Structure 1
Amino acid sequence: MLCTCRINLVRWLSALWQGAGFPEENELINSSGRQRQSHSPLSASTLLQMRVTVFLLVIYFSGASAAPILEPIFGWLEGLSGSNNSSPSPAAATVETQSLDELYKLAVTEGGQLTVRAGGDTSVQQDPFVQSFQERFPNINITITVDLSKYHDGIIDRSLNLTGKAGVDVAHLQTYHDFVRWKAEGRLLNYKPAGWDQVTDDVKDPDGAFVGMAYYLFTNTYATAKTSASDAPKKFLDYLDSKWKDRIVSVYPNDDDAVLFEFYKIQQTHGWQAIYDFIAQGINWVRGTATPSTVLLSDGPEAVTFTTATGFPDASSGVVEQLPPESDSSALVIWAQRAAIFNTAEHPAAAKLYMNWLLSVDYQTVLASGGWSVRNDVPQKEGLKPLADYGSMLDTKPFDKWMLDRELVERFRMQFEQLLGLPQGLSPIDEPAGSLRRIGVYQ
């Protein structure tokens, strides 16, 4: 430890005595590589503190007993020099106490406008959502732009870079890592809607910067007109049976991070040969996670998939979801779609109304009709157990961890780009509105 301290001391002495910090750290690129931040000049008092500290360090430099004293001092200096590339987070928010009706009045007084960017696969995917909001709050004009989450974040980042503003009031997206980064950059408003304490800790930021608004689950799904519950695949290796050759539809793994995570789990569990064998099954590769349901309901041969979310509809819908056995849940992914208010929101009152409505018992009950609510006091769909009872199989944390490791994600994505090529076809957002079938609460 003493050796490390001495190396650190040499590194700090000249720069801190002059109050200059480290030239190589004066301008940092954040983890996304998209935006630069500069450190503020040091005040006279801070410079004096640094010089006193340097003097103390010199006194202790030659003593072995100095190590435990020097280490905390280095930590203090690190904070003074601004070597962290994250902006300080504002104080944690308190939980909202106003009712929806009170918040509604404030939003109307503000002007009655709201802009939202929502992750999704079809241009009409959020239409029932918008209709439900406007029925409850008719004097709020809500404009929701639906697109793939991986495109929304780039649009928001460019706006922040060009104008300093996000260009939108609220976003709810799959890209968990973006919310973590935006918080670190000081882009998000710390806000805790009513009912915050009922939201599962795993899906909310402790300071209120973002919160999970809905769970999404991709798992075994089959067309009732083409196979039966007993015959349909229950675990990944079942899809390799010759009877499913040319009868499987799947989203390109390299086109969606959640699907990519499923294939990562499969590769980690069963190895690359299982991936090769799956590809050899003559998969119908498609874009957009709402697309497989449409294909299953078509006249084509495709009967099964594990890359779509339908919200456990009843058999009358034509498709049925089945959870895998605990022994192999590799072909499954679950995550919480995060939502946040940007601190540059032009309509903050309407944004707060929206966030409170998203987490309200009434709306969470609607979402739970397709599985589970992010609120602990809203019961799950009949026939399902509480989410926590499924243990690691339906744990959202592994996907969050995966999303934060962008080097791993992109490296694995390139593996599938080499195996399958670039995703082919129109973006699902550009498909004709009537070409995709709506199944369940999430599509």
Structure 2
Amino acid sequence: MEFFASIFAVLALLSSGTVAKSNSGEETNTIDQLYADAVTEGGNIVLYHGGDTPTSQNTLHDTFVKRFPKMNFTAVVDYSKYHNVRIDNQLETDTLVPDVVALQTLQDFTRWAKTGVLLPYKPANFSKIHSSLRDKNGAWLGYSIYQFSFAYNTTALDGLELPATPADLVDPRVPDNGINRMAFLKMSIHYALTHTR
């Protein structure tokens, strides 16, 4: 339910009325108050969510609709790399569809924040979210963290030193049959090595 609280609090973005905030600028209305306000204002919300299949967020949709039955909630699921281009096009043509966006392409959120197209909003407990997982002004926040791990077949390494870090996995001396070299792993390692130092 914590995820739904975070996502649902964004409904206040749809409100043309006054949003109750604390001294920190964080939301102070309850979920039920936000729900009532959203219903009064039409009860429509569209979520663009990253995912592999159109049905991959059915559980999210069904749980949300069960908790907030007066809402007309539409979840559109597609790869993040397609949603971000779609959103850029909609921003360019002034035809923006989603009210809330949940993508894994975090660089899009920082880019959109810099151009001023995101409406800042700080849900309750926003200040408790680690600073690396949120925009300080409330333009975006991360709600899920995925960790990459690595595995290798020790018998296929032919006496080579065991990989100790993800960077060791791309060492050309390590045979392909000993390492899981999926493209996303290489991309993740490259990103981590070039953007986190």
Q: Where do 1:207-356 residues align within 5 Å? A: 207-219=137-149, 236=151, 238-239=152-153, 241-242=155-156, 266=166, 268-274=167-173, 277-278=175-176, 280=177
Q: CA 1:96/1:158 → structure 2, altered by over 3 Å: closer, same or farther?
A: same
TM-score by length of 2: 0.71
Q: CA 1:274/1:124 → structure 2, altered by over 3 Å: closer, same or farther?
A: farther
Q: CA 1:121/1:109 → structure 2, altered by over 3 Å: closer, same or farther?
A: same
Distance in 2, matches of 1:148 and 1:112, equals 26
Check conservation: 1:117, 1:172, Cα contact below 8 A: yes
- Structure 2 residue ranges without an equivalent (≥5): 1-23, 158-164
> Is 2:105 the partner of 1:175?
yes
Matching residue within 48, 56, 75 for 1:117? 48
Q: Which residue of 2 aligns with 1:166?
A: 96
Larger relative contact order (Cα-Cα within 8 Å, sequence gap ≥ 6): 1
SS at match of 1:177: helix
Check conservation: 1:117, 1:171, Cα contact below 8 A: yes
Deviations 1:215-262 (A, max 9, x none): 22233xxxxxxxxxxxxxxx54x336339xxxxxxxxxxxxxxxxxxx
SS at match of 1:122: coil
SS at match of 1:215: coil
Q: Which residue of 1 aligns with 2:119?
A: 189
Q: 1:166: how far off?
A: 2.7
Q: Which residue of 1 aligns with 2:86?
A: 155
Check conservation: 2:153, 2:179, Cα contact below 8 A: no
Deviations 1:118-157 (A, max 9, x none): 0112222111111111111111111111111111100000
Distance in 1, matches of 2:117 and 2:124, equals 22
Q: Which residue of 1 aligns with 2:161?
A: none
Matching residue within 69, 72, 82 for 1:138? 69
Q: 1:398: how far off?
A: 4.3
Deviations 1:16-66 (A, max 9, x none): xxxxxxxxxxxxxxxxxxxxxxxxxxxxxxxxxxxxxxxxxxxxxxxxxxx
TM-score by length of 1: 0.33
SS at match of 1:114: strand
Q: 1:271: how far off?
A: 4.4
Distance in 1, matches of 2:70 and 2:109, equals 30
Check conservation: 2:47, 2:101, Cα contact below 8 A: yes
SS at match of 2:143: strand
Deviations 1:86-145 (A, max 9, x none): xxxxxxx81111111110011101111100100112222111111111111111111111
Distance in 2, matches of 1:172 and 1:269, equals 32
| Count of residue pairs the alignment pairs up | 165
SS at match of 1:218: coil
AA of the residue aligned to 2:195: K
Matching residue within 396, 401, 408 for 2:195? 401
Distance in 2, matches of 1:116 and 1:104, equals 16
Q: Where do 1:80-119 residues align within 5 Å? A: 94-119=25-50
Check conservation: 1:176, 1:400, Cα contact below 8 A: no
Structure 1 runs of 4+ with >6 Å offset: 282-286
Q: CA 1:400/1:120 → structure 2, altered by over 3 Å: closer, same or farther?
A: farther
- Structure 1 residue ranges without an equivalent (≥5): 1-92, 220-234, 244-264, 290-306, 308-329, 334-396, 403-443
Q: CA 1:282/1:210 → structure 2, altered by over 3 Å: closer, same or farther?
A: closer
Look at both structures and tell me which one has the larger radius of gyration over its CA atoms: 1
Check conservation: 2:28, 2:124, Cα contact below 8 A: yes
